[in-house]
Structure 1
Amino acid sequence: MRNEASLIPVYSGRDLGLTYTKDDCLFNIWAPTAERVVLALYEDAGQYNEHGNVTDHGGGREFPMTRNEYGVWSVRLQGDWKGYFYMYQVTVADREPHYVADPYSIAVSANGQRSAIVDLDDTNPSGWENDVRPRHGDPVDAVIYELHVRDFSSDPAAPFAYGRGGFRAFLQSGLKDAQGNSIGIDHLQELGITHVHLLPVSDYKTVNELAVATGDRSGYNWGYDPQHYNVPEGSYASDLADPAVRIREFKQVVQTFHAAGIGVIMDVVYNHTFTVDDGPFEPIVPGYFYRTDEHGRLSNGSGVGNELATERPMVRKYIKDSLRFWAKEYHVDGFRFDLLGLIDTPTVEELTKELRSEVYPGMMIYGEPWTGGDSPLQHKTLKGSQRGKGFAVFNDNYRTAIKGDSDGYGTGFSSGAWGKEDDVVQGIRGAIYDFTEIPSETINYVTAHDNLNLWDKMITIRHLRHACSFPDWNQGVPVDGRSAAEAVKAADPYHGISEEHLLKEESVRRSLLANGMVLTSQGVPFIHAGEEMLRSKYGDHNSYRSGDEVNAIRWANKARFLPVFKYYQGLIALRRSHPAFRMTTRGQIERHLEVLRASDHVVAFRLHGHANGDSWRNIVVIYNGSEREETMFLPADSERWHIVVNDCLAGTETLSIAEGDRVTIPRWSMMVLHDDPLSDQDGATDSEMLREEEQTEYFRMVEMCYERPDRRYEGWNVWVWGTGMQDGHVPLILTDDGRAIARIQVAPRVRKIGYIFRLNQWEDKDIDLDRYLELGDGNETVRVIIRSGTVAIQAV
C-alpha cells in the first residue's frame, strides 16, 4: 500500500463529516477506493447486546451517495435531522458491504456504536460565548498538572455531591474536607497551577459506558485506546441517551477551568487505534491509514499492534482537522501527544503552526519523544527534532537524572545516586546544551501516569515495599489472588511515617527535592496529580486498568500531609512570581545562570543580574541530595541573604537571614536565597533602580501602520504575541490618509514580538505565516509601515 498510497486522490476541503443546519445536512466521507457508499439514517441508537454493542445496523433509511474526483462521497438531505443517528454502508472491492460510523463523528450513541446528528449550538453552556482562555504568556510560564478525569472524584470518602468519576465533578466549587481544607477544583486553584493536563477524554473503546451508567465501576482505563477522536468519552457523562450531554458537560469543564484561571490541555492519541479491522479507518479505506513494514505487515512501533501512517496526506489532514475542531469548538488550550515519536516531524510542525496562527497563539503543544517499539517511520519526532519548531517534548534525561529508573531500584540525584550532578545541570539550564534551542522546548518532570508514581518510587528505592504491604500487580490484579480492594485495604503506603515530624522523613524530603528541582529549573514544569499529597498507587507501576481502588485521589491526604501541599504551593508561587525561573532564550540563560557547584551530591547555581527582569538581583538555588548536611559558600558580592525556601517551608517571603559568606543546607533538601539590594553611589538601591528602569521602558510603544490598496479595513485587526504584556487582539485605528494604525505596548526588555494581520476571528489572514518585528534596544517608540500582501517592513 505504501506505493499505492501516492496514487490515491487527496482532498483539502474542511467539510468532511457532517455539516448540520436546521435546513439541511451535508454528509461527506473520504472513501476513494470504495465502489459504493450509502448513508443510513436511524431514529434511534439501535438494539444493544449484553456486551454493550449494536451488531445489526440494517433497517435504516438509505440514501445513495455520489463520489467526486477527490474520492469524497456526498449526499445532502433537506430538512432538520437533529436527533437522528447515522452510519455509512461502504462497499469496497472483494469485500461484503459493511456499516461504519463516521470517522469524523462529532457525536455518537453509547459506546460509539452509531454517529449522531446534533446541533452544536445547542450544546453550548450558558455564557459560552464569553468564555476566555487564560493568558499565561510564554510556555515556560506554565505549571502543568496531569490528571485523569475519573481519579479526580472517585474517592468514595470525598464530598462530591454529584458526577463522581465524571465531568460534572469539576463543576463543583466550595468543597471542603472535615478540617476545612479545599478539595476538588478549588484545591487546584489554591495550588497555583496554570494548566490541567487531562488524560484522554475523547471517546475510547474498552470501558462499557452502559455498565458505568448503571453503577458498575469495574471497568476502568486511562483512555489510550481511541475509538472516536472527535467526541468526548461517554463514561464521564451523566446521560448517555442524549449524545449532546457529553459534549455540553465537557464544554462546562473547560469553561469552569477557564473561570478559575486554568487552561485545559488534552492528552491525544494519534499514533495508533485500539483495533484495525473494525477500527475507525480500515473498513473505509483499506490499507491507507496504517503504517507497514517492508513486507507489507502492520508495523508495531506503538506496542499495541499498529501505527497510524501520519506522513500520508489524508492521515495528516485528519489529525489537523481533529485538533482544530477541539481547539475551536471546545476552547481547548493545548495538546499532549502520546508517543509523539511515531508522528512524523513535518506533521507536528504543521499542526503547531496552524493551531497557533488559526486558533490561539498561546496553544501548548508537547509530547513523548519516543516510540513503543521499532518503526519504519523515517522522520520520527524524537528529542532534538523539535528544535526551533515551536513545540516541546518530555525531558526523560532530566527525569532519570533526578529520580533514577522508572519502576525499579535505580536511583537518581534526589534518591541517593552519586555522579548525577552534570546531568542535573543540563536539566537546570533547560537542556539548551542537550537537545533544545530554547527552554520552552523541554517539559521537565519526574513522574507521570506511566510507571511508579513519585511516592511509590521512593518506597521502592528504599526497599520498603514489603514493610508497606504492597502486593505484586499484574494487569490491575494482585498476583496473590486477592482482589484489588482487599490488597489496597491491607496496604499502608505511609508505614512508619511520623505526621508530627513529616518534613523530616527521608521519603518525604527526597520527593520534595525531586519536584523542587523541576519547579526551579528552566523549562516547563509538569507534575503528576496528587504528588502534592503524597499520592500512592500501592506499588502498581502500570495502573491503566487497575480501577478506582488503586487510582483514586484520596482527598483525606491533603489534611494528613498539609505541610507537603503547602511546600508545593510555595514553590509554585515562587516560580510564578519570579521570572528568573522562567527565562525564554538560550542567551538569557547563558548570561544569567551561573553554576556555583556541581559535585559531591550538591548542585548550586545563581540567577544573577535581575535575570529576565526579576526584581531580585541575585537568586541562589541549592540542591543537597546527600545524607548529610552540606555547607555552601555564597557569592562574594553580597553578605546578607534572604532564605525563602528551606527544608520545611517554601514561598516568596523571607523565612530567615543568612549572614556572611556561607550557608548550611540540611540533608535531602533544597534552599533558595536572594540577596539584599546593594546601594549605588547616589543611595538608590538595586530594586529602586530596576523599578525606575522598568518605568522608563514600561510604556514603550510599537506603532504598526497597516496599508491596504483597497483601503478597506473593516474587520481587520492585528494579533500579537511575545509582548510581555497583553498578547492577542489589537484593534486598528483609522487615519485620515487611508491607513490604519495598531498601537501595541511591550514590557521591559522585550526585543521581538510576533504578529499576524487577520480579518475578524481568523476568517482570513493578510499573509499565511507568522511574522516577527525586531525592536532593538532603547526606550523609543518603534514605528513601521506594513503593506498588505508584502513581507517587507518599512521603518518610519
Structure 2
Amino acid sequence: MIDDHHKLDVLNVVDTYQGRDLGVTMEPQACSFKVWAPTAKQVDVLLSPPSTGGSPNEQKNKDEQKEIPMNKQDQGIWTLKLEGEWNGYRYMYRATFEDGRQEIAVDPYARAVTMNGEMGVIVRLEQTHPNGWNEDIRPELASPVDAVLYELHVRDFSIHESSSMRHKGKYLAFTETGLRDSNGNTLGIDHLAELGITHVHLLPVFDFATVDESKADDGTSDCSRYNWGYDPLHYNVPEGSYASRADEPETRIRELKSMVLALHEKGIGVIMDVVYNHTFDTAASSFEKLVPGYYYRQNPDGTYSNGSGTGNEVATERPMVRKFIIDSVRYWAEEYHVDGFRFDLMGLIDTTTMKELAAELHAEVSPSILLYGEPWGALESPLGDQMTLKGAQREAGFAVFNDNLRGAIKGDSDGTGTGFATGAEEKEDDIWTGVRGAITDFTAGPSETINYVTVHDNLNLWDKVAQTQGLHDTLGFITYSEDGRVKGSANVAEAVQQAKPYLHVDPDHILENESVRRCLLANGIVLTSQGVPLLAAGDELLRSKFGDANSHESGDSVNAIRWEQKQQFKPVYDYYRGLIRLRREHPAFRLRTREEIELHVQLLEKGKGLLAYELSGTSVGDSWGRIIVIYNASKETRTICVSSGTWNVVVEQGQAGTETLRTTKEGQVSVPAISMTVMYSGE
C-alpha cells in the first residue's frame, strides 16, 4: 500500500524533462549530475572516494564523504556541476521531502556501481573500451526474417567442465576461440559460428539483485550463485557476477563489451533480454525513493498492481517512465553496440511506449536492431487495452512470440498435452497458419512473429517430448514436492546424477529414436516456417534439464550445457546445422511480406498428421526453381503425389543441408514416419 501521507499528487506531475543527459555527464575536467525528483524539497549528492578494494577503513571513507546540495531547475530537474577529476568516486542522491523525510538512493541512471549495486560510481566510459572497440562493426540485418536466434544464459554456456573454457560462467568465456573437444568438435563461440545462428539472445545481463556478487565463485554448483536474472536492480549496469571482478566497476563494463566484440567478430549479433515491466524491490527501489508513487502502476484502491506476478509493475505509460525505458534501451544499443532487445512480459509495457521505442531506435541508432517480446502479462493489469498483446505489433517495427504456433507444435508447456510434432491429431490447420508467418492470425507480415517451440521457461524440448511419451519416471526426471524439496534425493545435484535422460537412445541408431525424431520435427518446422526462428541453447545437443520445468535457481547441475553431448549426438547437431544453412542460403524460406507469402507459398496436402506445401523459388530470387516441404508427424511412412520431373531431396531422415541426398522422378515421394522432407526442382 502506498503511504498517502508521503505521496504527493505525483500522477499530476507535469514536470517532464526532454533532455538526454540524466545521470552523470563527464567532461575533461568536470562532472555534472542531473536527476529528476519533482516532489523533493531538496536533493544532495553524497560523494565518497573511490573504493580501495580489499577491506577499506569504512570509518575513514565515511569521514571523507562530501554532501553537496544540488540546484533546482525547471521540469523537476536537480543539477550539480563539479570542477576537477572525479573518476572512480562513488555517489548517491539524498532526497528531502516536504515532511522532512529523507531517502538515500542510487542514481536510476547509474552506468556503473559498486559490488551488489550498493552505490553508483562515476566512470569515464571511454576508458572501458576493449582493444578494437572503436572499429567494432554491428552485423547488418536486411530484414528480421534473416535472423536465426539462439537463446542462451551466460553462465550455462561455459560453466560445465566439458566446456574447456577458462573463464567459466563469465562474459570472457565468449572471447575464447580455437577450443575443441578430444574428437575435434568445435566448442564455445566457434560452435555458435559453425552452427550458423545469426544472433545470441542473452538472458538478462543488466545488474540483477539475487546473486551475491561478493561470494567467491569457485565454479562449483552452488545454487545461490545461480539465477536467470529477471529481478532488475540497476537497468543500465552490467551484472557483476559474470565479470572476473565484481568489485571493479570498470571491469564488468569492459568485459561485457569484450563479449559483444568477440561475437561481432564472428558475425553474430547480440540480443539483450530486458525486464522493464517490474523491479526486484518496490519500497527500496531508487524509483520509489526519489519520486514516491510515480514509477509503479496502482490499482484503483491505491495498492500496487501486480501484473508481473512479482509484486509490482512499472508504470510505462507515464512520460518519465517511458523516457527512462527509451533512454535505457538506446544507451545499451549505443554504448554497448547491442543489436536487439527481447522484452520480458511485454504485455505490461504500453503499446505507445513500444512504438515510440522502435521508431526512435530504428531512425536514430540502426535499422538493423531487432525488437521483440512476450505479448502477455503474468496476472491481471490495470493497463487494460493499452497492453502490448498479439496484434498490437502490426506495422510497428517489433515482433512478438508466437505461442499459437508453439502450442500447435508441441502441446502445453509442462504437461503431457500434445501438439503436431508430439502426436496430437488435427493440428495441421494451426501449423499451416504458423508456417505462413501468422499472416491470417495476428501479423501484418512475417517479420512480426518469433517462431519457437521452447525457451528457458518451462520444460525444454527434450524433456517436454519425454513427458508426452510418459517417460518422466522411467528416465528418473526430477520431481519437486510442494515445499520445493527434491523427491527421492538429498538435493538437486544428486537427483541429476540419478537421472538417465537418454536411457532409451541407442547410440548406434540415434536418428531412429522416436524422441529424437519428434525433437527434430518440432524445430524443423520452426526453421522452415516464414517468420523469425528462435532456438533454445542446447537443442542441437539434445540438452536435458532432467525434467526441471522452472530451473531459474536450480544451479549449474541442472542448467549447465554439457559439451560432451556434441560428440554423443553429432548427427543431431549436423541436422540443425544443415537446416540453418538451408534457411540462410535460400530466400524462399525468408519471405519479407504478406503479399509474397500469399503468392509464393502454396498448399499441396493437409490432414492426418501430414502437411505438404510448395515454395516458388524463382519468383523470389531463389536459385532453386520450386521447393516442396513435407512434415509427416504420423507414425507411418506417407506418400504424396508431386508434379513430374526431377526432384532433388536435400532434407530427409535426419539429414539436412543444401546438398542433394538423392533424386526422385516418380511423380510421388515417400516421407518416413515422424520426419520432414525438403526437395527442389530446377536450378
The TM tier, using the shorter chain, reads: over 0.9
CA distance in 1, matches of 2:136, 2:253: 16
Q: CA separation in 2, counterparts of 1:328 and 1:107? A: 16
Written as runs of structure 1 = structure 2, the 5 A alignment for 1:451-490 is 451-473=458-480, 477-480=485-488, 482-490=490-498
* Matching residue within 581, 603, 625 for 2:611: 603
Pair 1:67 & 2:67 matched: no
CA 320–103 in structure 1, closer or farther in 2 if over 3 Å, else same? same
The one-letter code sitting in structure 1 at the alignment partner of 2:650 is: V
1:660 corresponds to: 666
1:122 aligns with 2:140: no
- CA offsets 1:401-429 (integer angstroms, 9 cap, x no match): 00000000000000000010000000000
2:374 paired with 1:368: yes
The one-letter code of the counterpart of 2:408 is: A
Correspondence for 2:507: 499
Within a 5 Å distance, the mapping from 1:179-198 to structure 2 comes to: 179-198=183-202
1:212 positional shift: 4.0
Secondary structure in structure 2 of the residue aligned to 1:497:
coil
1:222 aligns with 2:254: no
Indicate yes or no: 2:547 matched with 1:539: yes
Measure, in 1, the Cα distance between the counterparts of 2:567 and 2:602: 39
Decide whether the 8 Å contact of 1:228 with 1:280 is kept in 2. no
Moved more, 421-430 or 67-76: 67-76
**Aligned residues: CA RMSD:** 1.8
Structure 1 residues 350 and 212, CA gap change in structure 2 (3 angstroms): farther
C-alpha separation in 1, matches of 2:475 and 2:435? 34
In the alignment, structure 1 residue 627 sits paired with structure 2 residue 673: no
- 1:47 deviates by 10
Please tell me whether residue 199 in structure 1 is matched to residue 203 in structure 2: yes
Give the aligned partner of residue 154 of structure 2: 149
**Within 5 Å, which residues of 2 pair with 1:314-463?**
314-378=320-384, 379-463=386-470
Contact 2:10 2:39 in 1 (8 A): no
1:715-734 counterparts in 2 under 5 A?
none
What residue identity is the alignment partner of 2:398? F
SS at match of 1:246: helix
Q: Which amino acid aligns with 2:148?
A: V
Question: How big is the shift at 1:108?
Answer: 0.4
Instruction: Name the CA distance, whole Å, in 2 between partners of 1:233 and 1:241.
Output: 11
Which amino acid in structure 2 is aligned with residue 617 of structure 1?
Answer: G
Q: For the residues of structure 1 that align with 2:134 and 2:676, how far apart are their CA atoms?
A: 45
8 Å contact kept, 2:103–2:290: no
Q: Distance in 2 between matches of 1:385 and 1:605?
A: 29
Deviation at 1:293, TM superposition (A): 1.1
Give 1:95 deviation, angstroms: 5.8
Tell me how far 1:296 sits from its aligned partner. Answer: 1.2
Q: Give the Å deviation of 1:45.
A: 4.3
Residues in 2 aligned to 1:404 and 1:80: alpha-carbon distance in whole angstroms: 60
Q: Which amino acid aligns with 2:653?
A: D
**Aligned to 1:240, what secondary structure does the other structure show?**
coil
Match of 1:81 in 2: 86
Please show how residues 541-620 of structure 1 align to structure 2 within 5 Å. 541-608=549-616, 610-620=618-628
The reply to whether residue 247 of structure 1 matches residue 253 of structure 2 is: yes
Distance 1:95-1:267 versus aligned 2 partners, 3 A rule: farther
State the secondary structure of the residue aligned to 2:415. coil
Report the CA distance between 1:272 and its aligned residue: 0.3
Specify the SS of the correspondent of 1:236: coil
Q: CA deviation at 1:97?
A: 1.6
Q: Is it true that 1:167 corresponds to 2:171 in the alignment? A: yes
Q: TM-score, normalised by structure 1?
A: 0.82
Aligned twin of 1:211: 215
CA distance in 1, matches of 2:367, 2:259: 22
Q: In structure 2, how many angstroms separate the alpha carbons of the residues matched to 1:331 and 1:26?
A: 25
Distance 1:13 1:202 in 2: 23
Unaligned runs of 5+ in 1: 678-686, 688-796
Match of 1:272 in 2: 278
C-alpha distance after superposition, 1:350-372 (max 9, x if no partner): 00010011111110000000000
Matched, 1:29 2:32: no
User: d(CA) in 2 for partners of 1:407 and 1:670?
Assistant: 25
CA contact (8 A) 1:580 1:614 kept: yes
Contact 1:477-1:546 within 8 A present in 2 as well: no
| Residues 1:57 and 1:593: Cα distance change in structure 2 (over 3 Å) | farther
Pick which of 94-103 and 395-404 moved more.
Answer: 94-103
Do the aligned residues in 1 keep the contact of 2:511 with 2:653 (CA within 8 Å)?
A: yes
* Conservation of the 8 A alpha-carbon contact between 2:163 and 2:188: no
Q: Deviations over 1:736-795 (max 9, x none)?
A: xxxxxxxxxxxxxxxxxxxxxxxxxxxxxxxxxxxxxxxxxxxxxxxxxxxxxxxxxxxx
Q: Which moved more, 1:102-111 or 1:470-479?
A: 470-479
Structure 2 residue matching 1:673: 3-state secondary structure: strand
Q: Which runs of 5+ in 2 are unaligned?
A: 1-6
User: Taking structure 1 as reference, are residues 3 and 173 closer, same or farther at Cα in structure 2, changes over 3 Å only?
Assistant: same
Change (3 A) 1:325 1:626: same
Change (3 A) 1:508 1:481: closer
Structure-1 residue corresponding to 2:142 = 137
Cα distance in 1, alignment partners of residues 9 and 596 from structure 2: 48
CA distance, structure 2, for counterparts of residue 594 and residue 91 of structure 1? 67
Give the 3-state SS of the residue equivalent to 2:648 in structure 1. strand
The alpha carbon displacement at 1:44 in A equals: 3.9
C-alpha distance after superposition, 1:309-339 (max 9, x if no partner): 0000000000000011000000000000000
Out of 93, 96, 100, which is 1:91 matched to? 96
**Larger relative contact order (C-alpha < 8 A, sep ≥ 6)?**
2
Offset of residue 93 of structure 1? 3.4
Query: SS of 2:656's equivalent?
Result: coil
* Inter-partner Cα distance in structure 2 for 1:534 and 1:386: 33
Number of equivalences: 670
Larger Rg: 1
8 Å contact from structure 1 (residues 46, 57) kept in 2: no
Q: Which residue number in structure 2 is paired with residue 765 of structure 1?
A: none
Q: How many Å separate the matches in 2 of 1:197 and 1:666?
A: 34
Instruction: Name which of 657, 671, 681 aligns with 2:677.
Output: 671
Shift of 1:2: 11
2:502 partner SS: coil
Q: What amino acid is aligned across from residue 607 of structure 1 in structure 2?
A: L
Contact 1:8–1:32 under 8 Å retained in 2: no
Which of 169-178 and 213-222 deviates more? Answer: 213-222
Which range is displaced more, 294-303 or 87-96? 87-96
Q: Secondary structure of the residue that 2:372 maps to in structure 1?
A: strand
Paired residues of 1:227 and 1:280 also in contact (CA < 8 A): no
**How big is each residue's C-alpha offset from its partner over 1:610-661, in whole Å with a ceiling of 9 and x where there is no partner?**
2421111110000000111111111x2x321100000120000100011221
8 Å CA contact 2:208–2:229 kept in 1: the answer is yes
Instruction: Return closer, same or farther for 1:484/1:610 CA change in 2, 3 Å cut-off.
Output: same
Partner AA of 2:526 in structure 1: V
**Which residue number in structure 1 is paired with residue 306 of structure 2?**
300
Amino acid of the residue matched to residue 420 of structure 1?
A: K
Counterpart CA distance in 2 for 1:214 and 1:660 is 62
The alpha-carbon deviation at position 58 of structure 1 amounts to 7.9
- Aligned mates of 1:336, 1:347 — CA distance in 2: 14
The structure-2 alpha-carbon separation of the partners of 1:476 and 1:578, relative to structure 1 and needing over 3 Å to count, comes to farther
Q: Distance in 2 between matches of 1:490 and 1:529?
A: 23
TM-score (structure 2 length as normaliser): 0.96
